[in-house]
């Protein structure tokens, strides 16, 4: 009985994990932002950014991914409105998508501001070995397949446990 609050607390992490897993499986834009995050951290590493600058990149990336999760949740919540609320549902979805776009553009500005002063270091580390440009091309191919893969294995709206959204 005394472990019940701890169990409920731990269950919250399981639910969060399931939500992130569902977003990776079903949301193309979330997969795109995950891949963009990989390149952002790779650029930060090759540019030899200071730890506080890497932390700023991490906060921006986390904010974009979190907003993408919120956007997906809003889209699911208002996906099938009744006929009297269809316009409001569409506006809510558009505003949530707009929030992701604003944060993504802000993150891009932060990345440019952080990386431009370090461009020489970034370029030198990028071209240090011929395998690095080849690795970028290879990851672009792999990530493109990952981003645009079909989610035929599970229908959108179907939960990982097989239940459907009502």
- 75 appears as a binding residue in the annotation: yes
- 4 appears as a binding residue in the annotation: no
Neighbouring residues of 29: CB distance < 8 A, sequence distance ≥ 6: 68, 71, 100
- 163 appears as a binding residue in the annotation: no
- 68 appears as a binding residue in the annotation: yes
- The tokens for 79 are 């996906």
- 27 appears as a binding residue in the annotation: yes
Q: Are 59 and 104 in contact (CB under 8 A)?
A: no
The residues annotated as belonging to the active site are: 68
Q: Please tell me the distance from the alpha carbon of residue 87 to that of residue 110, in angstroms, as a whole number.
A: 35
- 15 appears as a binding residue in the annotation: yes
- 8 appears as a binding residue in the annotation: yes
The binding site for ATP consists of 8, 15, 27, 75, 93-94
The binding site consists of 8, 15, 27, 68, 75, 93-94
The binding site for a divalent metal cation consists of 27, 75
The binding site for substrate consists of 8, 68
């Amino acid at each position: 009985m005394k472990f019940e609050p701890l169990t409920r607390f731990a269950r919250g992490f399981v639910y969060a994990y399931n939500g992130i897993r569902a977003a990776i499986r079903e949301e193309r834009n979330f997969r795109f932002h995950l891949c963009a995050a990989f390149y952002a951290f790779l650029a930060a590493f090759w540019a030899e950014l200071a730890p506080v600058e890497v932390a700023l990149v991490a906060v921006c990336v986390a904010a974009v991914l979190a907003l993408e999760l919120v956007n997906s949740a809003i889209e699911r919540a208002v996906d099938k409105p009744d006929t009297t609320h269809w316009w409001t549902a569409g506006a809510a979805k558009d505003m949530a998508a707009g929030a992701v776009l604003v944060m993504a553009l802000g993150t891009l500005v932060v990345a440019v501001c952080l990386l431009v002063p370090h461009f020489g270091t970034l370029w030198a580390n990028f071209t240090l070995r011929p395998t690095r440009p080849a690795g970028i091309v290879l990851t672009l191919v792999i990530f493109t397949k990952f981003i645009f893969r079909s989610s035929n294995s599970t229908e959108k709206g179907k939960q990982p446990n097989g239940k459907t959204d009502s």
